[in-house]
Amino acid sequence: MTPILLRIMLVVGLALVVSVIVLTRRAWLPGIGHGLPSIWRIAKITVAEARRRRVLQAVIALVILILLSMTAFSYLSPQEQAKMVIDGGLAAITVFGILLAIFVAAFLIPNEVENRTVYAILAKPVRRSEFVLGKYLGALIVLAAMVAVMTVVLVGVLVTLDHLIKDQAGSSFNPNLAAVVLAAVMSYCSLAVLTALIVLISTVSSTTMTVIAALIIWAVGSLQSQIYVLAESNGGAAKLFLLVLYYLVPHLENFDYRFQAANFVAISVPSAIGAVIVGIGYTLVVLVVASIFFSDRQV
Amino acid sequence: MAMLSRRARNGLGALFCLGVLLALVPVQESIYRARPELLERARSRRQHAASMIGMGPTPAVIAALGGFRSVAADLLWLKADQVWHGGSWWAMLPLLEGVVELDPSFELAWKVYGWHCAYNLNAESKTDIDRNYWLQKGIEILERAGETNPKSWEMKWELAWTYYDRSHELPRAAEAFYEASRLPGAESYVSRFYYRSYENILDHDGIMRALAYARTQHPKDTKHQFLVTRDTNYWKWAWNDPREHRRIIVKENTARYQRAVPPYLYPNDPFWDVCPVCGMPVEKGKNAVCENLSCPNYKHPIHPQTATISASP
């Protein structure tokens, strides 16, 4: 795309967003003072529910075991060991993060509807959009705690190995801890986007469908650059389909900094900030759509 | 949005979403500009798709792995390590190809892959054609490594070292050392190898140019500055000394002989002619003959054409 077209898109997009916010201010401004406490209360309940689930504790225990087992590559050179531990650790955080996101988010709204507890909540002065946002915020807090625990264990393993492993000529165990933590934070951001999508799907479909759709979205989202390149080299209906896929599915690749952390390559901070901006924008869109869908849903 | 009708709410919601998505497109483009490796990797994967079939993982496998290519690369690397220790050198190739396709930033894998072809498989080959094939394959791999990791001085260094030490393409080695020395983080010895390459072919202009360049690099590194000054002084004296020229010619052509590379003939050397068969120097002259006892060209003229003309009545 040409730079002029990109600028026009930016201006038109921002103009549309500002216009809608200004036009609807009377509808949403009075609700803020009342809405935020409601969202926070629902989030707290969601966190309390998640804490009662044994599966989350089991997953965390499993991840810690996997991270501790990373110390078993002692036959490799220090540099190779550092790469293996960082790669394996960050992959474990991502894989189990995705599983946790699916387990936490896919059951949030369907369970409330199936158990009919949603009636008790919606009978109170709580808007449906506040209910959706509260549930999402609760899921985010649970995931943040889980990712934080896993990251702390990984950093602990790296620091311990750094002390235990002796450097060899031309090969040293010298992990860039800041890059590892940044990669874990970006991994959490990708989980936040995925969780928003899971919440959206769960407002209109069953739990099983939500889980399947979440896995497909994660796979497609991780391959967005491939889709972009495929769209460049195709034409007609195929190109249109690929472009729709490219613009609708979140760019989870943007958040993938594991390559850089494991290979000791410098991380571009502007690209990380850009990824976070895209993630926040995309999540906002998904949550607006989820709120509209859930408001229209007959429960 | 309780005060709005359902249709108005949905319409405004759609407009809001459209606005946000439109505004995100330029941000996404800027991410691709800041991280060109994302698209380049996808593009090169499409280009190399045909050559990859039968060598490493196919694009479909890479696609299926999604975000976990790096872990898959680590597992293949562990397998390659196991195969190496088992002595199955040839079996390492598809594994290493897989590793570098899955994790193109894995510099150690690129280094080992290129070195394995240019050194081990080259030495293991029985014929000159095979030796040359594996040497060129190793160079090709290291060139790919440099293209894939353009900011890595170590990748350029590996390529330069292979030109310098293995294929003895010294002008090319000098260029590659120069490029490596310009990349961020390059060690001081890289710029010193830039003039070492010219030293071995006795290219006076090249040596002086490279020495002047090396002096501008790492100004605070006293050891580097000392070595460059020492070598500059050495060359001011050694260029006029035939014995030093001879020493370098013997050293370089002996190394070439050991690597089965044809000798370098030093066409512009002011003091020595070089036997095209054994590569040993003989005092310059129209009727110079090889004086190396073990050379098949022993006592035969080094310049056959000139010798024939001068011998004719």
- pLDDT band with cut points at 50, 70 and 90 for residue B310: very low
Evaluate whether residue B10 is within a structural domain: no
| Cβ <8 Å between A27 and B2 | yes
Residue range B34-59: average pLDDT? Answer: 60
Please, what is the end-to-end C-alpha distance for chain A in angstroms?
44
Look-up: residue for tokens 């029985």?
B126
pLDDT of residue B52: 45
Chain B residue with Cα closest to A258: B70
Evaluate whether residue B12 is within a structural domain: no
H or E stretch covering B86: helix B69-86
pLDDT of residue A142: 93
Question: B54 or B131, which is more confident?
Answer: B131
Domains of chain A: which residue ranges? 33-296
Q: Tens digit of pLDDT for each residue in B64-80?
A: 555 678 888 888 999 99
Look-up: residue for tokens 């894995």?
B106
Q: Tens digit of pLDDT for each residue in B239-279?
A: 999 999 999 999 999 999 888 889 999 988 899 999 999 99
| Cβ <8 Å between A274 and B30 | yes
Q: Tens digit of pLDDT for each residue in B101-160?
A: 888 889 999 999 999 999 999 998 888 899 999 999 999 999 999 998 998 999 999 999
Q: What is the domain range of residue B141?
A: 67-150
Give the Cα separation of B67 and A262 in Å (integer). Answer: 14
SS3 B120: helix
The full DSSP string for A199-263 is HHHHHHS-HHHHHHHHHHHHHHHTTHHHHHHHHHH--HHHHHHHHHHHHHS--GGGG--HHHHHT
- Partner-chain residue, chosen from A20, A83, A84, that has the shortest CB–CB distance to B19: A20
B60 CB near a chain A CB, below 8 Å?
no
How crowded is residue B257: how many other Cβ atoms within 10 Å of its Cβ? Answer: 14
How crowded is residue A48: how many other Cβ atoms within 10 Å of its Cβ? Answer: 10
Give the Cα separation of B227 and B111 in Å (integer). Answer: 28
Chain B residue with Cα closest to A29: B1
Choose one of B109, B135, B150: the last residue of a domain.
B150
| Alpha-carbon gap: A281 to the closest alpha carbon of chain B (Å) | 6
Question: B49 or B69, which is more confident?
Answer: B69
| Cβ <8 Å between A24 and B6 | no
How crowded is residue A104: how many other Cβ atoms within 10 Å of its Cβ? Answer: 27
Chain A residue with Cα closest to B68: A91
- Rounded to the nearest 10°, the torsion over CA A285, A289, A294, A296 is 150
**For chain B, how are helix, strand and coil distributed in percent, rounded to 5?**
70, 5, 25
Q: Tens digit of pLDDT for each residue in A222-237?
A: 888 888 888 888 888 8
Chain A residue numbers touching B103 (CB-CB < 8 A): 259, 263
Q: Which two tokens stand for residue B133?
A: 């094939």
Give the Cα separation of A44 and A141 in Å (integer). Answer: 9
Amino acid at A248: L
Choose one of B107, B126, B150: the last residue of a domain.
B150
Chain B stretch 17-46, residues whose beta carbon is closer than 8 A to a beta carbon of chain A: 17-32, 34-35, 38-39, 41-43, 45-46
Contacts of B187 (CB under 8 A, 6+ apart): B153
- Partner-chain residue, chosen from A12, A270, A278, that has the shortest CB–CB distance to B22: A12
Nearest to B191 by CA among B163, B219, B150: B219
CA angle B263, B266, B268 (to 5 degrees): 165
**Interface ipTM > 0.85:** no
Give the Cα separation of A38 and A270 in Å (integer). Answer: 35
* Cα separation values, A62 from A92, A102, B12, B96, B277, Å: 10, 17, 46, 31, 68
Give the Cα separation of B298 and B293 in Å (integer). Answer: 6
Amino acid at B204: H
| Cβ <8 Å between A10 and B9 | no
Evaluate whether residue B49 is within a structural domain: no
By the 8 A CB rule, do A135 and A170 touch?
no
DSSP letter (8 states) at residue A72: G
B124 CB near a chain A CB, below 8 Å?
no
Q: Tens digit of pLDDT for each residue in B159-205?
A: 999 999 999 999 999 999 999 999 999 999 999 999 999 999 999 99
- The structural domain count of chain B equals 2
Using a 10 angstrom Cβ sphere, with 0-12 exposed, 13-18 middle and 19 or more buried, the burial of residue B308 is: exposed
Evaluate whether residue B57 is within a structural domain: no
Q: Could you tell me the mean pLDDT of each successive run of 10 residues in chain A, 299 residues long?
A: 87 91 81 82 90 83 85 77 88 89 86 82 83 93 93 91 79 84 94 94 88 88 83 85 86 87 83 92 92 82
Which pTM was predicted? 0.76
pLDDT of residue B304: 65
User: Could you give phi then psi for residue A157, rounded to 5 degrees?
Assistant: -60, -45
Contacts of A294 (CB under 8 A, 6+ apart): A109, A128, A129, A131, A132, A203
By the 8 A CB rule, do A82 and A174 touch?
yes
pLDDT of residue B177: 97
Q: Which residues pair with B272 in a beta bridge?
A: B283
- Partner-chain residue, chosen from B3, B10, B26, that has the shortest CB–CB distance to A6: B26
Give the Cα separation of B229 and A97 in Å (integer). Answer: 57
Give the Cα separation of A49 and A240 in Å (integer). Answer: 43
Chain A residue numbers touching B158 (CB-CB < 8 A): none
How crowded is residue B18: how many other Cβ atoms within 10 Å of its Cβ? Answer: 16
CA angle B52, A221, A268 (to 5 degrees): 85
| Cβ <8 Å between A278 and B71 | no
- Rounded to the nearest 10°, the torsion over CA A226, A232, A235, A236 is 80
| Cβ <8 Å between A27 and B3 | yes
Evaluate whether residue B278 is within a structural domain: yes
Give the Cα separation of B39 and B51 in Å (integer). Answer: 19
| Cβ <8 Å between A254 and B1 | no
* Cα separation values, B245 from A152, B3, B290, Å: 62, 94, 17
Residue range B20-46: average pLDDT? Answer: 80
| Alpha-carbon gap: A52 to the closest alpha carbon of chain B (Å) | 31
- Interface size A-B, in CB pairs within 8 Å, comes to 166
Strands (E), chain B: 272-274, 281-283
Give the Cα separation of A78 and A73 in Å (integer). Answer: 9
Residue range B15-37: average pLDDT? Answer: 87
* Cα separation values, B65 from A42, A90, A180, A223, Å: 37, 15, 21, 9
pLDDT of residue A134: 92
Give the Cα separation of B215 and B227 in Å (integer). Answer: 9
